[in-house]
Chains A and B, each alone.
Chain A
Amino acid sequence: MPTQITLAKGLNMGLRKAMENDPKVLIMGEDVGKLGGVFRVTDGLQKDFGEDRVLDTPLAESGIVGTAIGLALRGYRPVVEIQFDGFVYPAFDQIVSQLAKMHMRSLGHVKLPVTIRIPYGGGIGAVEHHSESPEAYFAHTAGLKVVSCSNPVDAYWMIQQSIACDDPVIFFEPKRRYWDKAELDESATPHPLFAARVVRPGGDVTLVAYGPMVKVCLDAAAAAEEENRSLEVIDLRSLSPLDVDAVCRSVERTGRLVVVHEAPVFLGMGAEIAARVTERCFYSLEAPVLRVGGFHTPYPPSRLEEDYLPDLDRVLDAVDRSLAY
């Protein structure tokens, strides 16, 4: 029976399912136990699975990831919560130099099935360090896989698929979408974890987004329809691996591509997508690949974040520029 759930609830249900299916799955992080996480994503799990499987940790991000690595070496599947995007940096060495490289350094002898959940992005009026989009740092690092869900149904399936993956997965959760709702059918067949998905078909311009910007792009496509413009929206879902094939298939039909993300444009995911699409679809392109994203500034105070974050109007402005070529 399909049920109406929020994205946070989808994650919660997915985590519960993973813990039921595999006794080696552990949850670790600050406030994830009794409190159920500051966003309540782990609500009720410690009560049902005990303190040995849902660990309230000391307040030390490097320590959380470093000990998760040790637990993985011992055969566990830790799921780590970093409380907010801007707090992941103390764990950067453990993620980039230790977690990402250990499988290769061991010539394949050890596996590191660690999932690191990071609520990310802005739009919730938070103080500084609580609204950032650091995904490019991790997608840039060989040895990591990086995904981001955009809706409650994907949240439910993707968290389980990430935990089941034998590689480290950085799992970005769009915090401003935690309370968005959708119908979940638990008996459905999940989409493959590392594949993109066309979430709205169209023929004039392709919009590519992930995480919180998927909804903005869908809204933009709905608005454009009123002006008889047909926008195709692709939810990337996975940033590493990057499903370039899916983007190219679309661009070969539309000839125009706009990439949208909250993270700064410079050296962001859009730069990589633009380069690859240009290499692969040069003769299909009717216009340069355009990017809409954050500016080359630190994330602003929250009273300015509506100016900083891409919104429907900025996306449509880029669509206009693309169509003007």
Chain B
Amino acid sequence: MHVIVDSSPGTSPGPELVQLLTPEGERVEHPEYSIELSPQEYRGLYRDLVLVRRVDAEAVALQRQGELGIWASLLGQEAAQVGAGRAMGPNDYAFPTYREHGVAWCRDVDPLNLLGLFRGVNHGGWDPNEHNFHLYTIVIGAQTLHAVGYAMGMQRDGSGAAVLAFFGDGATSQGDVNEAFNFAGVYNAPVVFFCQNNQWAISEPLERQTRAPLYRRASGFGFPGVRVDGNDVLACLAVTREALDYAREGNGPILIEAFTYRMGAHTTSDDPSRYRLQSELEAWKLKDPIERYKRFLIKNSLADSDFFAEVDAESERLARHMRDGCRALPDPEPLSLFDHVYAEGHPLVDEERAQFAAYLSADVDATAERGEG
């Protein structure tokens, strides 16, 4: 019996990797994907990358200072997220995991709103419909089905827009993600699946999630898959733009595997030194998404030192905004825990709210009586 089987998940990307910018910052051509931007747009992407990394660094620092319970760092994935986020049109809709701080940035969600979840003052403090950016989803892969359903709604509305569904390499093992692929295929839903393969699901490497390259999984569900250099913002932008067009034009779903690397820990509670080699991280540092893009801008005289200085200054202002804003985030009132449990209310919630309110005020009275108030 002669059977040809691809039994490698492709931990080192092959020639199929779409790349428009080498790690050295050289602009290269690709037969299928191209991109031409104005100098201002080129500079805008750099600004996004730097500010998104700063948002992340500040959040990590705030966690270390005890201001956040936990933070999931996007370090190393800035290009994938900014490229995808900037490819979206105003009517497109994104469904994130809990690490899409860069996409949130592109959808004009104030970074302070991201901190609420990680500080524990709310479960997500933005209006999804104001930004076309859904709440963060922590259960791995669950949001991909919401994305497909939302896309099916767009399809019925004749909206001409598309959905971008984010998830990671670990999520591809979940039933929900595979059901999402299948539903999207069956109903020809206008959804772009954007998988950031950052090589690690906490401590588990790609080999523990899949035997075949992730982008190829799409073919089994009957739609195209493409693997893009996730550390190349131009390639991510070009590929996602084209994928969104493809979906908007009624061709159905498409899968993008952005091949990237989680340069930090899974979250601030994680210690990657227990499971991966420092040499691997060092190798990926040479492919840093921001460094390569800066070299490209300088080589092509698209930005000067004044521009870089201005971005640095803006980065400082943003960091201050986050520090001051985070410390000023008020703890919610105790009785607010009963808010919004139901859209139309529920007598049990009302009853328990009243009982707890009475308990709290009795407690205050007792404290005052003991002279401890």
Contact = CB atoms under 8 A, between A and B. Distances in A.
Given A69-B146, A70-B146, A242-B348, A105 B123 contact: yes
Interface string A66-89: 111111111110100000000000
Interface residues of A, number: 48
A165 B148 CA distance: 24
A307 B129 CA distance: 53
A103 B341 contact: yes
Interface string B323-351: 00000000000000001111110111100
B156 A109 contact: no
Given A70-B149, A104-B123, A241-B348, A63 B180 contact: yes
Contacts of A102: 135
A107 interface: yes
Residue from A98, A101, A194 having most chain B Cβ neighbours under 10 A: A98
Contacts of A241: 346-348
Interface string B123-152: 111011100001101010010111111111
Given A71-B153, A74-B154, A165-B344, A107 B125 contact: yes
Given A73-B150, A142-B349, A242-B348, A93 B142 contact: yes
Interface residues of B, number: 43
B343 A63 contact: no
B151 to A, nearest CB: 7
Residue from A73, A110, A143 having most chain B Cβ neighbours under 10 A: A73
A58 interface: yes
A63 B137 CA distance: 16
Nearest to B122: A107
Contacts of A166: 343-344
A107 B146 contact: no
A109 B129 contact: yes
Contact of B183 (A58, A93, A98, A167): A58
Given A69-B146, A94-B145, 20 more contacts: A60-B179, A60-B183, A62-B179, A63-B179, A66-B146, A66-B176, A67-B149, A69-B145, A69-B149, A70-B151, A71-B152, A73-B134, A74-B150, A74-B154, A75-B153, A93-B142, A108-B340, A165-B344, A241-B346, A241-B348
25 contacts: A58-B183, A60-B175, A63-B176, A63-B182, A70-B146, A70-B147, A70-B148, A70-B152, A74-B153, A74-B157, A75-B153, A90-B175, A97-B142, A104-B123, A104-B340, A105-B123, A105-B135, A107-B122, A107-B124, A108-B339, A110-B128, A143-B342, A167-B342, A167-B343, A240-B348
